[in-house]
Amino acid sequence: MHRFWKYNIDHVIFWTATVVFHMFTRSSLIAEAGIEQFFLEIIIRNGLLAIMIYANLLLLIPRLLVTKRITSYVAALLISIVGYILFKNLHDQYLHGYILQRPNQNFFQYSYYNFSIAIFYLTFSIALHLSKQWYFQREQLRRIALEKLTAELDYLKAQINPHFVFNSINTIYFQIDKENTTARETLSVFSELLRYQLYECNGDQIEIEKEVAYLKNYVSLQKLRRDEQYQISFRADSSLTGFSIAPLIIIPFVENAFKHVSHYPDRNEINIELTRRGDRFCLAVFNTKDQIIDSRKHEGIGLKNVQRRLTLLYPQRHILDFQDQDKTFRVLLELKIDV
């Protein structure tokens, strides 16, 4: 059914049935007036119908009816119907009076018939249009409900009792020797990361200062896992204050850099830079990578998910660019922020 609507198969069936039926009912014209007049009748009548129908579907409904300008819509629709009747009357007068030489022909003789044809096809086309709109709205609601259910299930599966988690962390913290400050600091940073994800990210927006602090903690933990062969830098401008962004919209790009960073014996780099230019928040993430890495793997499920979130949360308000080279990978992101 989706393909039926998507590829306008309904239009094809509608016009095929309309033209074939009209050809059948007017087939007597071939013997009476010739094949040329027969096809002229088919082209003029259905061409005028198409102009009237698509003017209504593509212009009048979106620009007048949808915007609640009912009076203007009804007036414009009546004008299109009258236009169809007048032009079809003109052709009927030519066909029956001049070509077929029938007596007592006048310009308005076929007005009622042409009016009924116009009303029938307008009504039928509007019914098809409304059916199509209803189908797409139903599919959109179904998709939204499914995505919401999936998100809720994923969230529930990812949830661990927060009290249990933090009580366990506190227990481990006090079991670590006091002289082992590095282990204690690492556990403390890890605790802050969990606290941020569980308690701070429940809203639609988060202060940029909190998001930056979260990223700093994440990078500091990652640095502990790397030796001197890795050069990792994180820079956030002091201008990053006073606005909010969607929570956890940046971290997938940073995670991706650490996941796919190269493993050369001499030089491996990750550079993360957060800046602000007026009403634009800018993120640049650079990492070296192994040449054997497939770029499609580099742009994995995490990046696809965040691209989806950006499309939903920042429609027409973001720029995302991936620069994939032989040994390097760079992500550039711009978000239009509310200031």
Q: Is 278 helix (H, G, I), strand (E, B) or coil?
A: coil
Q: Contact 150/135 with Cβ under 8 angstroms? A: no
Residue 234, helix vs strand vs coil: strand
Residue with tokens 């940029």, as numbered in its chain: 208
- Report the pLDDT value the prediction gives residue 194, as an integer from 0 to 100: 81
Tell me, what's the pLDDT at 286?
A: 96
3-state secondary structure of 176: coil
Asked if 281 and 334 count as a contact pair (C-beta separation under 8 A), the reply is yes
**220 in Cβ contact with 272 (< 8 Å):** no
Contact call for residues 276 and 257 (beta carbons, < 8 A): no
Q: What pLDDT sits at residue 300?
A: 55
Cα distance between residue 123 and residue 17, in whole Å: 16
Distance CA 226, CA 75 (A): 73
Judge whether 271 and 245 are in contact, CB under 8 Å. no
R_g of the chain, CA atoms, integer Å: 33
- Strand (E) or helix (H) holding 105: none
Give the C-alpha separation, 253 to 249, whole Å: 8
Backbone dihedral region for residue 25 (phi beyond 0: left; psi -120 to 50: alpha; all else: beta): alpha
Residue with tokens 């308690």: 199
For residues 252 and 249, give the distance between their C-alpha atoms in angstroms, rounded to a whole number. Answer: 7
Q: Which domains does the chain have, with CATH numbers?
A: 2-142 (no CATH), 227-336 (3.30.565.10)
Structure confidence at residue 65 (pLDDT): 87
Confidence at residue 68, expressed as pLDDT on a 0 to 100 scale? 85
- What are the tokens at 222? 């990652």
* pLDDT reported for residue 273: 96
Residue 209: how many other CB atoms lie within 10 Å: 14
pTM above 0.75, yes or no: no
Q: pLDDT digit string (tens) for 258-279?
A: 989 998 888 899 999 999 999 9
Is the distance from CB of 251 to CB of 215 less than 8 angstroms? Answer: yes
Cα angle 105, 110, 115; round to 5: 165
Task: Output the pLDDT for position 319.
Answer: 94
Total length of the chain: 339
Render pLDDT for 45-55 as a digit per residue (tens, 0 to 9): 999 999 999 99
Q: What is the pLDDT of residue 6?
A: 58
In the chain, which stretches have pLDDT less than 50? 298
